[in-house]
Chains A and B, each alone.
Chain A
Amino acid sequence: MTALLLAVPLAPLVASLLIALWGKHSGWLNVLGVGLSLLALLLIGSASPALSGPWFKSGAFQLTAGLALDGLSKVLVYLVAGMGLLISVYAVGYMRGEKSQPKFFATFSFFIGAMLTLVLSDSFALLFAAWEGVGLASYLLIGFHYTEAKARQAALRAFLMTRVGDVGLLLGWLLALNLTRTSDIATFLTQVNTLPATLLAALFLIGAVGKSAQLPLTAWLPDAMAGPTPVSALLHSATMVAAGVYLLLRLSPLFAAAPAVLLAVAIVGGLTALFSAFVATAQTDLKRVLAWSTVSQLGEMFFVYGLGGPFAAAFHLGVHALFKSTLFLSAGAVQHAADTLDMRRLGGLWRMMPLSALTFALAGLTLAGLPPFGAFWSEEAMLGTAVQNGWLVGAFMLLLIFLAGVYISRAGVATFWPRGENAQAHEVGTLMAWPGLILAVAALFGGLLGEALRGLLPFTLSPEVTLSWRISAISASALGLAWGGVRAVRLGASPALGDWPRALGTVLEGLTLGTARGTWALSLGLQWVEGGLNSGARFTAHGAMGGSRGVQRAESGFDTSGRVVADFALSGANLTARAEKSGFAEGANKLANGLGTLGEQLRGLETGKIYLYTLILFGWVLIMALAAVLWR
C-alpha cells in the first residue's frame, strides 16, 4: 500500500526525468506518468496509508519527510491527478508541431508531480520543497515561449511575486519548527493552542496570498497567460493557485485559533473577489477574462474560509478546478482555431467549432451557478456560510455571483455568438476537444462532489440556506448571465459594466507593483543597514590602522638599534672573509683537485655490465658471510 502511495507523486516525476533523458514520445510519456499516478490512487481506494521517516536531524530539531493520504489530501490528489491526466491528453494535441516538446512535457510532468507531493506531504519541510518546486515549474512553463519578451517578463513576474509570499511561508514553518522541534504537520496542529497562533497564521497567510494571487499580489496571475494554454488550464485549476487555498485548509486548526487572521483572510478574499470580478468584465482578451475570474473565484474561497466555512471553500475549490480548466481548454481550442484570443476579432465560432462551444457553454453555466450545474451547490454552501454572518455579507455574495454571470456570459457570447466573420476557423482535433467535454460533464455533476467531500473532510458543513436566499442566488446568476449576454450581443466585446473596471485593473496592477516596490524599498533599507554596518567596520579598521601606525613607529626605533648591531656584525664578517680568501681557499682547491683525480681513476669500475655488478654484489655478500663465520 505504501508502495502505491509512493507511486502517486513519483510516477509523474520519474516520467519527467525519462522525458528529459529520452526526448521521444514526450507527450504520451507524460500522459502515462500521470495515468499511472491516477491508477495507483484508484488501487489505494478508500484506504488512507501513510509513510513517514526522519529526513535529517540537527541538534534537537527533527525534520521528517513523508506522505499521508488523509481526507483532505485525497480530494486534492484526485483532482490534481484526474485533471492532470485530461489536460495532459489535451496538451498532446495542443503542442503538436511545437518546438522543444520534451522540455515542455518534462516540466509539465514535474509540475504535476510537485503538486502531488505538495498535497500529500505530511511535513512542512517536504511541503515547502514541493511548494518551491511548483513555483519553479510554473516559472519555466509560463516562460516557455522564451523568445517573446512578454513571456519572459510574465514568467519572471510570476516567480518573483510568488516569492514574496513564499518568504511568509518559509518564516512561518521555520518558526513552527523552532517552537515544536519537528516539521511534522500533524504534531504541529495538535500543539496549536500552546503556540503564538496569530503570528504563525499571519505568516502562513502571506504564503497563501502569494500563491493564490490574492490582493496585493494579484497581477502575476493574469500575466501568466503568456504560457501555453494547457499550462494555464493546469495552473488555474488544480495546481499552483490551489496550493494557497490548500495550505489554508490544511492548517485550519491553526487559523481557527487565530480569529484576527481569519478576519484578515475574509477581508483580503472579499476585496480580491470583488475587484477582480469587475476587472474581468472589462477585459478583451478571452484568456485574461478567465484569469481575472480565477482570481475572483479564489477570492471567494478565501472569503468564505475567513468567514469560518472551510468546507464551502474546499467544495468550491474542487468544483472551480473542474469548470475553470474546462474553460481554459476551450479557450485554447479557440486560439488554435482562430489564431487569436482578442474577443473584438472573434465571434460566430459556434458553427465552426460546436464541440468547443458546447464545452464552453456548459462550463460557463457552471461558473455562473445555475441550479443543476456543479457550482450551484458549492456557491450555495458558500452563501450559507456568508448568510450566517449577516444578511449584508449574504448580499455581497449575491453581488459576486451576479458579476460572475456577467463576465462569463459576455466572454462566451462575444466569442461564440453568430456575429463576425471567422470563416477560416475550424474544429480542433479529438485530442483537444474531448478532454474539455469530459471535464465539462464532470463539472456538470460537480454537485455530487459535495456528497463525497462530506465523508472525507473533517470540517463542519455549511448551514442550509433558506428558500428566499436560494431564489435570490439563482436570479442573481440568471440576471448576470442575461446582462452580460445582452451587452455582448448588442455591443460585442466592449466592457459589460462600462469602462471604469479597466481602470480598476490598472489600479490593481499598481497595487501589486506597489507591493513589489515596498519589498524593494525594504531591501534598499536593508542595504542602508548594511551601509551602517559597513561604516562601523570602516571605523574599526581606522582604529586598527592607527594602532598599526604606532607599531610602525616602535618598529623604526628597533630598526636603528638593529642597524648598529648589523654594522658591528658586518665588520666582523669582513675580517672573516679576508682570512678565508688567503688561507682556506688554497686548501680547498687542492682537496678538490685530488678528489677529481681519484674519481677519474674510479670511473673504470663502472663497466656498464650488469653481470659484473651482480657478481660483485654476491661476491661481497659471500665475503661478508665468510668474515662473519670466521670472526666467531
Chain B
Amino acid sequence: MTIPLSAYLIVAAVLFGIGIYTVVAQRSAVMVLMGVEVLLNAIGLNLIAFWRYVHPQDYSGQIFTILIVTVGAIEMAVGLAIMMLLYRNRQTQQVDDYQELKG
C-alpha cells in the first residue's frame, strides 16, 4: 500500500497546528521555542513530501530541508542562549514577565 501525498500533508498540517498552538498558548519561553521548532519541522516535512511526489529527480527540495534543519539548530542555540541570559537577569522564564517594551 502506498501512502498518498495527502497523508503527509495532513500530518504536516497537524504538526503546524500544534506548533502554532504551542507558540501562542504556552507561557514558558522554552516551550515557545519548542513550538517554533515544531513549526519548522512541519514545513520540512511538507517540503520533503512535495519533493518525493512531485519532483523526485530534482534534489533542491532535499537541500532546502537540510537548510531548514540547520537554521532550526542555530535558531535553537541562539534562542536558548538569549533565554539563559534573560533567566539569569530575571530569575523567571515566563514570557509574560518580559514587558519592558509594552506601550
Interface of A toward B, CB cutoff 8 Å: 602-611, 614-615, 618
Selected from B20, B32, B103, the residue in CB contact (under 8 A) with A610 is: B32
Given contacts A615-B24, A618-B20, contact A610 B96 (CB under 8 A): yes
- Interface Cβ pair total, 8 Å cutoff: 28
Chain A residue at smallest Cβ distance from B24: A611
Contact A608/B32 with A614-B23, A614-B24, A615-B24 known, Cβ cut-off 8 Å: no
Cβ-defined contact, A609 with B103, below 8 A = no
Is A608 a contact partner of B102 (Cβ separation < 8 A)? yes
Q: How far is the CB of A623 from chain B (nearest CB, A)?
A: 15
Residue-by-residue, is B1-44 near A (CB-CB < 8 Å gives 1, otherwise 0)?
Answer: 00000000000000000001001110000001000000000000
Number of interface residues of B (CB under 8 A): 12
- In angstroms, Cα B91 to Cα A63, docked, is 67
Are B25 and A611 within 8 A (Cβ)? yes
List residues of chain A with CB within 8 A of the CB of B54: none
Contacts of A604 in B (CB 8 A): 103
A232, chain B: closest CB distance, angstroms: 67
Query: Interface 1/0s, chain B 87-103, versus A by CB < 8 A?
Result: 00000000110110111
Q: Given the complex of chains A and B, what is the CA–CA distance between A2 and B25 in angstroms?
A: 76
Contact between chains at A605 and B103 (CB < 8 Å): yes
- Closest B residue by C-beta to A611: B24
Which A-chain residue is minimally distant from B20 (CB atoms)? A618
CB-defined contacts of B98 to chain A, threshold 8 Å: 608
A606 touches B102 (CB 8 A): yes
Q: Which 5 residue pairs are nearest across A and B when measured between Cβ atoms?
A: A608-B102, A606-B103, A603-B103, A608-B99, A611-B24
Which partner residue on chain B sits nearest A609 by CB separation?
B96
Report A296 CB to chain B, min CB distance, Å: 79
The residues in B between 53 and 103 inclusive whose CB is less than 8 angstroms from any CB of A are 95-96, 98-99, 101-103
- With CB as the reference atom, state the residue of chain A lying closest to B23: A614
B101 close to A608 (CB less than 8 A): yes
Q: List 28 A-B contacts (CB under 8 A).
A: A602-B103, A603-B103, A604-B103, A605-B103, A606-B101, A606-B102, A606-B103, A607-B102, A607-B103, A608-B96, A608-B98, A608-B99, A608-B101, A608-B102, A608-B103, A609-B96, A610-B32, A610-B95, A610-B96, A611-B23, A611-B24, A611-B25, A614-B20, A614-B23, A614-B24, A615-B24, A618-B20, A618-B24
- Least CB distance, B24 to chain A, in whole angstroms: 4
Query: Which residues in A have their C-beta under 8 angstroms from that of B25?
Result: 611
CB distance from A559 to the nearest CB of B (A): 54
B103 partner residues in chain A, CB cutoff 8 A: 602-608
Closest beta carbon of chain A to B26's beta carbon, Å: 8
Residues in B neighbouring A606, C-beta threshold 8 A: 101-103
How close is A223's CB to chain B, nearest CB, in angstroms?
A: 68
A618 to B95 alpha-carbon distance, docked (Å): 18
Please, how many angstroms separate the alpha-carbon atoms of A606 and B25 in the complex? 18
Shortest A616–chain B CB gap in Å is 10
Query: Complex formed: what's the CA distance from A415 to B23 in Å?
Result: 101
Q: Smallest distance from the beta carbon of B11 to chain A beta carbons, Å?
A: 19
A618 to B25, CA, bound (A): 14
**Residues of chain A with a CB closer than 8 A to B24's CB:** 611, 614-615, 618
A612 to chain B, nearest CB (A): 9
With A and B bound together, what is the CA distance between A607 and B23 in angstroms? 17
With A603-B103, A614-B20 given, name 7 new contacts (CB 8 A). Answer: A606-B102, A607-B102, A608-B96, A608-B99, A611-B23, A614-B24, A618-B20
Q: Using Cβ atoms and an 8 Å threshold, which residues of chain B touch A608? A: 96, 98-99, 101-103
B100 to A: closest C-beta gap in Å:
8
Shortest distance in angstroms between B32's beta carbon and chain A's nearest beta carbon?
7
Docked pose: A604 CA to B102 CA in angstroms: 9
Contact partners of A609 in chain B: CB under 8 A: 96
Q: CA separation between A611 and B22, bound complex, in Å?
A: 10
Chain B residue numbers with a CB within 8 Å of A610 are: 32, 95-96
**CB-defined contacts of A605 to chain B, threshold 8 Å:** 103
A351 CB, nearest partner CB in chain B, Å: 85
Q: Whole-angstrom distance between the alpha carbons of A454 and B80 in the complex?
A: 82
Q: In angstroms, how far is the closest chain A Cβ from the Cβ of B42?
A: 13
- Chain B residues with CB under 8 Å of A603's CB are 103
CA–CA, A483 and B32, complex, Å = 108
Min CB distance B37 to A, Å, is 15
Of residues A606, A609, A611, A615, which shows the largest number of chain B Cβ atoms within 10 Å of its Cβ? A611
Across the interface, which residues of B come within 8 angstroms of A614, CB to CB?
20, 23-24
For A605, the closest partner residue in chain B by CB is B103
CA distance A609 to B94 in the complex (A): 11
Residues of chain A contacted by B102 (CB below 8 angstroms): 606-608
Residue in B32, B96, B98, B103 with the greatest tally of chain A CB atoms within 10 Å: B103
Bound CA–CA A615/B24 (angstroms): 7
| Contact residues in B for A602 (Cβ distance below 8 Å) | 103
A127 nearest CB across to chain B (Å): 58
Bound together, the chains give a CA A606 to CA B98 distance in angstroms of 13
Measured CA separation A320–B102 after assembly (Å): 96
Identify the closest chain A residue to B99 (Cβ).
A608
Chain A residues closer than 8 Å to B99, beta-carbon distance: 608
In chain A, what residue has the closest Cβ to B16?
A: A618
CB nearest neighbor in A for B102 = A608
With A and B bound together, what is the CA distance between A606 and B96 in angstroms? 13
Nearest residue (CB) in A for B36 is: A614
CA gap between A609 and B102 in the complex, in Å: 8
